[in-house]
Amino acid sequence: MRISTVDQNRCFYTPVLSSIKGDGEKCRSKVLRMALSNKQYSRLDEAMAPPRSLFKTIVFLVFVGCSFLFIHTLMSRSGDRENGQELASPTFKEFYECVYPKLYPLKGNYEEFWYSFVNLTKECDNLDALKALDIRPVENTDEVKYVAYPKKDEDITMVTLGVGHDVDAEVKLKELYPKTEFFGVDPIGEGNKDIYERKLNGTFFQIAVSGSGGMFKSHVFRKGYGNEMTMHIGAGYFFGEMLRKPKIDVLWIDTEGHEYTVLELLHRGGEFEKRGVKVCQMNVEMHKDTYKESQGEKQKFHDFVWKVLEDGKYVMLKPFFVSWRNKGFIRTFIVNVADKQCTDFRLGHPSNRAFALLLAALLCSFWLSISFLQDNALIEVRTASPIFQAYNECVYPKLEPFKGNYEQFWHSFVNSTKECDDLDALNALDIRVVENRDEAKYVAFPKKNEAITMVTLGIGHDVSAEIKLKELYPNTEFHGIDPIDEGNRDLYQDNLGGSFYQVAASGSSGIYKSFVFRVASEKYSKGYRDEMTMHIGAGYFFGEMLRKPKIDVLWIDTEGHEYTVLELLHRGGEFEKRGVKVCQMNVEMHKDLHEESQGEKQKFHDFVWKVLEDGKYVMLKPFFVSSYKGFIRTFIVNVADKECTDLYLTPE
């Protein structure tokens, strides 16, 4: 890094950070900021920067103004509702007038409400207003579901939460309305994936969907029903980030007790609305006493119904009580009669005044966010750690000649930087080797005896190194991720006592091509192959599913998807925004795994330069593997975060 002399301040910089001369610590601080931001220092820039106190005062005043405007907007819209400017649809009004007086005497009595709901409300199915809906039955093996038939000839989206080895009703819906795109979700792949994809040409996701992400108990069907710990994805995230369908025309929910946490998100102002997702119609099974421990399902059902009546958005039709195994559950058909895209009924529009206020509040909030970012950028003074300074001084001049030349950078990186592993500053790290069958991984050994978290992204049927890590440091909690269940789940759970997630983690969620390893079976030959697999965003996985603010050890071998994960780890990236820090990583950097180029050499080049710009990580133990198109292994250590350095670095 070459920064021009700043004669006016008698402060200049030579290519080695330690060779800073001039007016003492003040000068050193300025040059260090230049080095980390890759920007030249200018006294004019400093003079034009607003004083911090003035800037904070402005930001505070803007915040107060925005808060007042936002409250005023809400009050205006609330007044509009009270004045009748936002009216419920005629269908909902008639439904409400029928249902409310029947249910009101039971309000607050969860037990009686549960057992009386069906008989009290079923006669409200015969209202004149409901004749506008063309409701048709479609039958499964042991139940009847209902569909409000579309009035227009257009493509629709159908989602099944809980396939349960039975798609007879979905098949009948497909016959009834062929222009249906199907998406099925179930934590059990055996029996469900095949029938959903083969009979419906649908997309199958082997997960559970509920109110939030994580590992939770599920009541699942294999040869019979049983409780298992399964991986859950938050419904808001699934519909908003994975399906990315703004309108779900048909949703069937049979999730054995987890339906309530999904339904909570569907109310006015809930997560679905915030994510821009609308649901037009649902068949839902409402359960109770699924597990030995009470989940308060009767109260949840009671509260959901009253919130539906408060919202003015849905009507609950075709109620049916099923007596099963001395428990009983309620089926109901729920129709959105408020949203214009779902129904021909139209709601009154917000007044122009309220809309203008809301727009002004949004613009004001946007300006405030920008102001905060600018303020933080102006006042932040980042001091690189001594380890990073020594590393940067060694690496930068070796790599700078290749900057912008992606091909040469890729092939020169290892040989150019490997001698930087021998820096004196790195002696503060106790780096140890743990070997897999065909590679060496590295661990910066903890200096304190505390529990640590280890995550494997891409297991690849080999946990030899994880076992050695467990022997080396038994106080380790393991979490493993791989889109292939066979061979990986048992290895990870049996050998490590770890949690296994059958999914791929990358930069964003969806169904993407993955380069996966299969063991020999009747269906597959042994080896690597391209398959379309389910991906979840790494930020969501670490922030919402694992919910671990500190990942001590992360190993990434995701066959090309590593770059989209690594992008999230930079300063100001999604991991920082979610409050997740990663202390050390072993990463394989691939190229040319798929027929179509993914621009991996440029991604690798850009990642390295961003690492040097951030001043957060050092990249050690580089190794080029020439087999199978060639890839780079590297050991990356966080030398900037205090929680990480306190645990892994020897105090000076």
Q: What is the mean pLDDT of the chain?
A: 84
- Whether residue 563 lies inside any domain: the answer is yes
Residues 6 or more apart from 173 whose CB is under 8 A from it?
Answer: 138, 147, 158, 180, 250
For 486-538, how does the pLDDT look when each residue is reduced to its tens digit (9 = 90+)? 889 999 999 999 999 999 999 999 889 898 888 777 777 788 888 899 999 99
- Whether residue 541 lies inside any domain: the answer is no
For 351-382, how does the pLDDT look when each residue is reduced to its tens digit (9 = 90+)? 344 444 445 555 555 555 544 444 444 333 35
- Whether residue 273 lies inside any domain: the answer is yes
Share of the chain above pLDDT 70, in %: 79
Of 281 and 371, the one with more pLDDT? 281
Q: What pLDDT shows up at residue 69?
A: 53
State the average pLDDT over residues 235-253. Answer: 95
Same domain, 238 and 365: no
- Domain that includes residue 79, residue range: 52-84+351-377
Q: How many domains does the chain have?
A: 4
Burial of 645 (0-12, 13-18, 19+ CB in 10 A): buried
Contact criterion met (CB below 8 Å) for 348 and 39: no
- Whether residue 332 lies inside any domain: the answer is no
Same domain, 574 and 608: yes
Does pLDDT of 390 surpass 70? Answer: yes
Same domain, 19 and 40: yes
Q: What pLDDT shows up at residue 42?
A: 41
Q: What pLDDT shows up at residue 61?
A: 61
- Whether residue 478 lies inside any domain: the answer is yes
What is the per-residue DSSP string for 47-89? HHSPPHHHHHHHHHHHHHHHHHHHHHHHHHHHHHHHTTSS---
Same domain, 423 and 561: yes
Does pLDDT of 317 surpass 60? Answer: yes
Same domain, 568 and 429: yes
Same domain, 268 and 155: yes
Does pLDDT of 40 surpass 50? Answer: no
- Whether residue 496 lies inside any domain: the answer is yes
Same domain, 456 and 591: yes
Report which secondary-structure segment, H or E, holds 511: strand 510-518
- What's the pTM value of the predicted model, to 2 decimals? 0.70
For 115-129, how does the pLDDT look when each residue is reduced to its tens digit (9 = 90+)? 999 999 999 999 999
Does pLDDT of 587 surpass 50? Answer: yes
Q: What pLDDT shows up at residue 17?
A: 39
Same domain, 464 and 553: yes
Same domain, 393 and 365: no
- Whichever domain contains 205, its CATH number is 3.40.50
Q: Which of 387, 381, 345 is nearest to 93 (CA)?
A: 345
Q: What pLDDT shows up at residue 224?
A: 80
Same domain, 70 and 27: no
- Whether residue 239 lies inside any domain: the answer is yes
Can you tell me the distance from the alpha carbon of 302 to that of 4, in angstroms, rounded to the nearest whole number? 71
Of 192 and 293, the one with more pLDDT? 192
Same domain, 231 and 246: yes
Give SS3 for 619. Answer: strand
- Whether residue 311 lies inside any domain: the answer is no
Residues 6 or more apart from 617 whose CB is under 8 A from it?
Answer: 569, 611, 636, 637, 638, 639, 640
Does pLDDT of 319 surpass 80? Answer: yes
Same domain, 107 and 62: no
